[in-house]
Every structure is written in C-alpha cells, then in structure tokens.
Amino acid sequence: MKAITVKQPGGADQLQITEQPIPNIKSDEVLIRVKASAVNRTDIVNRESSGGYLDTPILGVEVAGIVESAGVNTTLEVGTRVMGLVNGGGYAEYAVMPANCAMEIPAHLTFEEAAAIPEVFLTAYQTLFWHGQLQEKDAVLIHAGGSGVGTAAIQLAKQLVDAKVITTAGSQKKLDFCNNLGADICINYKEQFFDEEVKRITNHVGVDVILDFIGASYWERNLNSMKVDGRWVLIGVLGGAEVHNVNLMALMGKRIKLIGTLLTPRSNDYKSKLTADFVVNALPFFATGQLKPIVHRVFPLHEVQQAHIHMEENKNIGKIILRVDETMKNA
Amino acid sequence: MKAITVKQPGGADQLQITEQPIPNIKSDEVLIRVKASAVNRTDIVNRESSGGYLDTPILGVEVAGIVESAGVNTTLEVGTRVMGLVNGGGYAEYAVMPANCAMEIPAHLTFEEAAAIPEVFLTAYQTLFWHGQLQEKDAVLIHAGGSGVGTAAIQLAKQLVDAKVITTAGSQKKLDFCNNLGADICINYKEQFFDEEVKRITNHVGVDVILDFIGASYWERNLNSMKVDGRWVLIGVLGGAEVHNVNLMALMGKRIKLIGTLLTPRSNDYKSKLTADFVVNALPFFATGQLKPIVHRVFPLHEVQQAHIHMEENKNIGKIILRVDETMKNA
C-alpha cells in the first residue's frame, strides 16, 4: 500500500510517499481502508524528531474509513464506516485501529468530515470534562479559538454544559468564526490584554477552566484570569515552554490545579475509555447538528507536504484533512 | 475571657494576652471551652501580616475542649469532648466551632493529644486522598517528614492504603522518628539528592504523589521524582515561592497534575465535608492505635511567645500544643 513516511527528521520536504506492507491486525483490532486522515501538530513534532513514540514509521494519529477486516475478539462488522484514533499509521491506504477506539460515523457525515472529529473533539472533551471538570454554566477561557481543538472545545463547552465561553484568537476572521460557533466573548489578543477582559467580564472572579495551548507567553495573564479553585489545563506550548518567574504562592493562594496533559502517548485502555465516554455524551450531538466537524481544507494525500506547510503557517480555522483516494494509485 | 491577640504585625514578641468577650454562637455553631489549641504555620503568617483572612483578632485555627453551649440547629450535647477546626479564635478560653467541624475525641486521648489532630491530619488527608488520589500500594514522597503534616501524612499513607512511603528530613533524629511512624525510606536531604534516591528506589518510575511543603528549592528534583500521570500537591513554600525556570513541556510530557492548595481559608462547607470523610475513614484508626497524634511539646497558653519561637526554630517533630488551664486566670 501507499503510505507517508519521513526521509530524515526535518521539514515538510522530508515527507515522502513510500510503499509499505498492509499491516496485520491483532485479535482486538480492526483494519481500516482509510478514506481520510487529518493533520495534527503531533505529526509535525514527529516529523521533526528523531525518536518519536509510535511504533510505525507512518505518520498520522486519526482516520475515517471502512472496516476491511476485524479481529476475532471484536464485534465490528466488515463494511462499517468508522472514525477514530490510531497509534500512528493514519497517513496510508490501510491502518490498524484498536476496535475500542472505533466510532461509527454519523450517517450524514462524509469521510472528510468524520476525519475532522476524533483527535480534536476527544482532546477537547478530555481536557474540558475529565481534567477541567467543567460544570453547567461555568466560565471557560479557550485560547487559540480558531485551532482544531479550539473550535471543538467552544462547541462542546457550549452545547454540553452551556458554559460561558471566552475565547482568544489573532484575527477578526477567526473571532467571527468562534462567535458563530457559540463563543460568548471573543478577544483579539493582538488588540486587548485578555486577562483584563476576563476580569471585566467575570466581575473580577475569573474563569473556572482555562484551556491553554500557549504556555509561557501567557503564563501571568492566565494566572490573573483564573478563579479560586480553578482548573488550568495545559495542552500546548505554542508560546514557549520556559516560564522564568513562577510564583508558587499565587498557585497556592488561588488553589489552582495546573494539569499538564497529552492524548496521543496515552494507553489504548485510556483512549478506549475516553472514546466510550465521548460516544455516549457527545456523539449524539453530531446527529442533531449541534456539534459540527470543522474542515478548513482537504488535501489529497499526495499533497501532504503542502498540508503540513499549511498548518505551520497557522492560517487554518479547524482541521486540515488528507483525502486518500484513487489519485494515490498513480502517485 | 483571656485570649491571645497581636499588638502589631511582627515577631513572637507581638503576641499578647488580652481580655476579650466570650464569643456568641450562631444556630449551627457550638461554643467550646478550650482545653488545648495548637500552633500552626498559618498562625505565624497571620501574626506577621497586616491583613489576615480571619474574622477574629484572636489567633488559632484548631482546638480541643468541651462543648459549653450548642446552637439550636446542632445535635451535639453540652459536655461532649470535641476537637476540630475553628475559623480563628483558637488561642482562647472559649472558641466558636461550626458544629459540622466538631469531632468527638477518642476516649483514650487527652485534650493535648486531641488538639494535635485536626489541622495536620485533615490537611494530610485532604492532600493525600482528595487531591493526590493516593491509591493502595502507590508510592508517595512526603517532604518535611518530621513536621506536623509530615508525621500525619506518613501514618495515613501507611495505615489507610499501605503506600510505599518515602520521606525527607534534615536530621537523623527526625529520620528515625519517621521510620518508626512507618516510612519505608527516609532520606537525609542534607546528605543525599532525594531525586536520585527516589529514582533508584522506584526503578526510575518515580512516585505517584508528592506532598510538597518546600516549593522553589526542590522544584527540579520534585519534577525528576514524579511518575507519569503523577499528582504533585503543593501546600507550602518553606524553600521559596519563586521558581526561575519552569519547563512546561516537562509537566505536559509527564502529564503531571500540580495542585496548589491551602486548608485554612476554605469554606465551612468544604471543611465540614472533609471532616465528615475523615471521621468515617481515618478516625477509627486512632481508637485502635494505628494512628497517633504526635505531640512534640506542650506550652501553657501564656507562654505562647516561646511556643511560636519554638516552631520558627524548626526543631519540632510533630505538634506544638498550647494548654489552656487555670494558670491563665492569673496571667
């Protein structure tokens, strides 16, 4: 089969189409004929790093496609349209998925739309509800509102618990988009100090939960924005990893829970529990249209280099999708 | 009644015996004839600070004594021997206690012993189990093993969930004491790098929970000692509050929960829930002798200045108790 691997750790130009064996499945796995995958920042980190934590040389941590064959200890039927997390190997014509990570695709969604769901919606669900313990009517500050996880988190916070959603982004276009997704307050971080806005909006109480993709450069302002007993979920360091002055008394005084987390390196057991919880509590909202996958742009898989560059330029609102189709055969 | 108040924010010499009115109780409170109180670091902070978060000018956040009168919405009988948290006002002949914070004193314990229980055992219980989610057989690193909370935490971790208890202290006397309390590994932080010992002992896995009273000066070594998915509970900054280089990627990579917390400023509702949970799950172990209050030294209340200086000299193992007795009448 055709698949995307990395020549040498480095830039997008290191991505190449190679011929790889169709992978074997274990008894609790299914083989997916991939129709679409999606680009995630973890793919870029993996592309650049020499090690990488995944077993396969093929990039990609989520797919949508059709069950081609199923292990003996699974209940999924061949032919079922599914989407879900994979432990690497998503940028390919076939991929292995733990059966417990497979979610049936809601009938009205295309494969490209379905591939925009697993990673960002599961991450947003995990961070908001499992870690952030977001409750009905809580206030939540979601940074990078236009990002894949941002657009998912805004919708989940609004539709599942009617949270007061405050979001930041760097362009009017992104802010308008966030507003349309249901965000109550949209702050342009280039024009306003978000902590001052948060204080004003919350009557100096602060927010219950922060979803932080930014890290160092927002540290002080996030601290200022946090409510007493707030949960600060750290899932990215786009603004740097090194904070030079952390005041621990402030963390204690506000009794803050600072929770560092990542989804991809977690165990299958964890991912399958998260998937099961999401299927019960969030997936039905896709059928009703209250939750929507946000597809920014679809690239054919052989244009994976352009797709990576597109993410690195940071212009996307929502997901960058890779379509696997007949064009691959001739690539 | 006689009570201890602060002349001007400052040193132990600012503590004075004054005449104060016996406080009034609300319908859900009880008035305690105080037999013993105890010194806590929060009292020293309050003595030194101009503001303070407590309503009464009288220091002291825990007492043991006898119910003198009870509000109409309480079920406690006058004459009951009780111990518990108070919202200030503990260094006095009489103190107000929310009825839900009162615990009956196990029959074989003296008032001085009982006064050594509430603050440190509730804090240790809250941090280990509510925040740290310490599980059966988990490994826990307890700093300041000879401190009040340290001695309580060692016992709770060992007796309630048979944890592997690793503790640090700065003298052989304290380490021997910790060992007798049940600590499995006792590290002299002046002679060994505790993170290297933790790595060696846990086969480079790290500990599930850290109880951190130290803060800045232990930051890197605590990070090194932490297991993936570990819980790091920050309840003191004896080693400084300012950390100058915090690597957020390390927090994310290990998926660490860093939990800043304090007990004293929390609501009555929180304290009463914590007390209720403690009464069910920990208090019975005092009756069997598996948990023991650790009394370092008892001072009569009129020697409160010496008692504070004693804590500031950091030589105590366990609690410094203030006895309220007839000597007060002539002070």
Interval B102-118: pLDDT, tens: 999 999 999 999 999 99
Q: What is the pLDDT of residue A314?
A: 83
- The shortest CB-CB distance from A260 to any of B236, B242, B255 is to B255
What stretch(es) of chain A map to CATH 3.40.50.720? 120-260
How near does any CA of chain A get to the CA of B21, in Å? 32
Within 8 A of A123 by CB-CB distance, chain B residues are none
Answer yes or no: do B248 and A235 touch at CB < 8 A.
Answer: no
Answer yes or no: do A237 and B252 touch at CB < 8 A.
Answer: yes
Q: What is the pLDDT of residue A49?
A: 86
Name beta bridge partners: B81: B66
Q: What is the pLDDT of residue A52?
A: 54
- The shortest CB-CB distance from B241 to any of A242, A248, A255 is to A248
Q: What is the pLDDT of residue A48?
A: 93
Give the architecture-level CATH label for domain B2-117+266-330: Alpha-Beta Complex (3.90)
- Asked if A238 has any chain B CB less than 8 Å from its own CB, the reply is no
How near does any CA of chain A get to the CA of B77, in Å? 35
Within 8 A of A257 by CB-CB distance, chain B residues are 257-260
Fold exhibited by the domain A2-117+264-330? Quinone Oxidoreductase; Chain A, domain 1 (3.90.180)
Name the residue of chain B whose CA is nearest to A233's CA. B257
- Which 3 state secondary structure label does DSSP give B242? strand
Mean residue pLDDT across chain A: 94
Alpha helices in B92-202 (DSSP H): 111-114, 118-125, 148-161, 172-181, 194-201
How near does any CA of chain A get to the CA of B231, in Å? 9
d(CA B29, CA B281): 24
Mean pLDDT of A156-177: 97
What stretch(es) of chain B map to CATH 3.40.50.720? 124-260
- Asked if B238 has any chain A CB less than 8 Å from its own CB, the reply is no
∠ CA B255-B143-B262 to the nearest 5 degrees?
70
- The shortest CB-CB distance from A243 to any of B236, B237, B248 is to B248
- The shortest CB-CB distance from A243 to any of B237, B246, B261 is to B246
Q: What is the pLDDT of residue B326?
A: 63
> Is the pLDDT assigned to residue A330 strictly greater than 60?
no
pLDDT band, very low/low/confident/very high, at A316 (cuts 50, 70, 90): confident
Answer yes or no: do B258 and A254 touch at CB < 8 A.
Answer: no
d(CA B62, CA B275): 13
pLDDT in tens, A235-258: 999 899 999 999 999 999 999 999
- Asked if B51 has any chain A CB less than 8 Å from its own CB, the reply is no
Q: Could you read off the pLDDT tens digit of each residue along chain B, which spans 331 residues?
A: 999 999 999 999 999 999 999 999 999 999 999 999 999 999 999 999 866 556 789 999 999 999 999 999 999 999 999 999 999 999 999 999 999 999 999 999 999 999 999 999 999 999 999 999 999 999 999 999 999 999 999 999 999 999 999 999 999 999 999 999 999 999 999 999 999 999 999 999 999 999 999 999 999 999 999 999 999 999 999 899 999 999 999 999 999 999 999 998 899 999 999 999 999 999 999 999 999 999 999 999 999 999 999 999 987 899 999 999 865 555 5
**ipTM more than 0.85?**
yes
Give the architecture-level CATH label for domain A120-260: 3-Layer(aba) Sandwich (3.40)
Answer yes or no: do A260 and B256 touch at CB < 8 A.
Answer: yes
Q: What is the pLDDT of residue A326?
A: 63
d(CA A157, CA A124): 9
What stretch(es) of chain B map to CATH 3.90.180.10? 2-117+266-330
Write down the CATH superfamily of domain B124-260: NAD(P)-binding Rossmann-like Domain (3.40.50.720)
How near does any CA of chain B get to the CA of A265, in Å? 9
Q: Which residues contact B285 (CB under 8 A, 6 or more apart)?
A: B159, B160, B291
Q: How far is CA A183 from CA A8, A187, A225, in A?
A: 41, 10, 17
Q: Report whether A261 contacts A133 (CB < 8 A).
A: no
- The shortest CB-CB distance from A246 to any of B243, B249, B259 is to B243
How near does any CA of chain B get to the CA of A229, in Å? 9
